[in-house]
Amino acid sequence: MSGDHILSVDRLSMRFGGIVAVNDLSFNAERRKITALIGPNGAGKTTVFNCITGFYKPTSGAMRLVHDDGHAIRLERLNDFRISKLARVARTFQNIRLFPGMTALENLMVAQHNALMRASGLTFLGLIGAPSWRNAEQAAIDLARTWLDRIGLLDRADEAAGNLPYGDQRRLEIARAMCTKPALLCLDEPAAGLNARESAALSELLLSIRTDHGTSILLIEHDMSVVMEISDHVVVMDHGVKIAEGTPQQIRDDPKVIAAYLGTDEEEAIAVMESGT
């Protein structure tokens, strides 16, 4: 169980001037499992995400991603778009970042940019309408159609993404990330703003992504019903450090976690913890 990690974060630190957002954080995400990263607001969860997906360069620490074929990539050495292109790490954003003026289908086509760019012979084959390009384009449309069907948006494929209801936009962003064919999918609060029914549908979607596609998922979430239902492993952060780690059941009963969420001060938390053990 402990051997197969897709992502190993080792002593990651991120400082902004004098502020330490993430301090010496180490955790692993297992392959084909859902790992949740939880913690109160301002705990540094999104900073960790931004480090993993190349938006920030960490102050120190190592992040190692191992693909299914055993090929290992040091994420802290890549930056910007290369994380997604070479390491195949896809992400979604806390505040949805779709392309609002493009249709749902177009959003999913843009996600397949790198594959389509190769197929279009860096545009030149595509410009003359070569058959190989046409086939690749059709395949891309078919993949997009499959995902639109999965998230129940096939009927609204030709509508502008900005016109879709909030819940649909959330799911579309996940589908768009999946269209990059990622090895690791990072979701930043996918259930934020969803109602109970939509949250349940989201849980189902994420479980099927894990099971049917074998994609590992790293998840930031505040909605504990979602976290407890689908996570295989939970990492709890507070003030930039890891305070607990374990199965959802273990986390649920951990006094330190309860203290962090309820805002109890430290001595009290320790007292609670000691009395518990």
Partner 1 sequence: MSAPPAAQTSRAPGAAFIFKKALISALVALVLFSLMIGVRTEAGPQGQLIYWTRFGDLAAMVATVFGGSIVFELLRQWWGPVGTIRVVPPAVQSTLSLAGRLIAPVLLVFTFLVPVIFYNERYILDLGILVLTYVMLGWGLNVVVGLAGLLDLGYVAFYAVGAYSYALLATNFGLSFWICLPLAGILAAFWGVLLGFPVLRLRGDYLAIVTLAFGEIIRLVLLNWQSVTGGPNGVTGIPRPTLFGIPLSAGDDGLAAILGIEYSPTHRIVFLFYIILALALLTNWVTIRLRRLPIGRAWEALREDEVACRALGINTTTTKLTAFATGAMFGGFAGAFFATRQGFISPESFTFHESALVLAIVVLGGMGSQLGVALAALAMIGGFELFRGLDQYRMLVFGMAMVLLMIWRPRGLIGHRAPTVFLKHNQAISSDLVKEGHG
| Residue 138 contacts partner 1 per CB under 8 A | no
In the chain, the amino acid numbered 181 is K
Q: Which stretch binds partner 1 (CB under 8 A): 36-44, 78-86, 209-217, 241-249?
A: 78-86
Residue 63 β-bridge partners: 9
| Residue 102 contacts partner 1 per CB under 8 A | yes
| Residue 176 contacts partner 1 per CB under 8 A | yes
Q: How far apart are CA 196 and CA 226, in angstroms?
A: 10
Q: How far apart are CA 242 and CA 233, in angstroms?
A: 14
| Residue 111 contacts partner 1 per CB under 8 A | yes
Beta carbon nearer to partner 1, 56 or 242:
56
| Residue 243 contacts partner 1 per CB under 8 A | no
Q: Which tokens go with 149?
A: 């069907």
Query: For residue 170, what is the DSSP state?
Result: H
**Residue 121 CB-density burial (10 A; 0-12 exposed, 13-18 middle, 19+ buried):** middle
Number of chain positions touching partner 1 (CB under 8 A) = 46
| Residue 91 contacts partner 1 per CB under 8 A | yes
Q: How far apart are CA 8 and CA 61, in angstroms?
A: 11
Applying CB under 8 A, which of residues 23, 32, 33, 55 lies at the interface with partner 1? 55
* CB 137, CB 143: distance < 8 Å: no
* CB 184, CB 89: distance < 8 Å: yes
Q: Which stretch binds partner 1 (CB under 8 A): 30-38, 92-100, 208-216, 252-260?
A: 92-100
Q: How far apart are CA 211 and CA 217, in angstroms?
A: 11
Applying CB under 8 A, which of residues 16, 68, 77, 117 lies at the interface with partner 1? 117
Q: Which residues bind partner 1 (CB under 8 A)?
A: 53-55, 80-85, 90-91, 93, 97-103, 105-106, 109-114, 116-117, 120, 123, 126-127, 141, 145, 148, 154, 157-160, 162-163, 176-177, 180
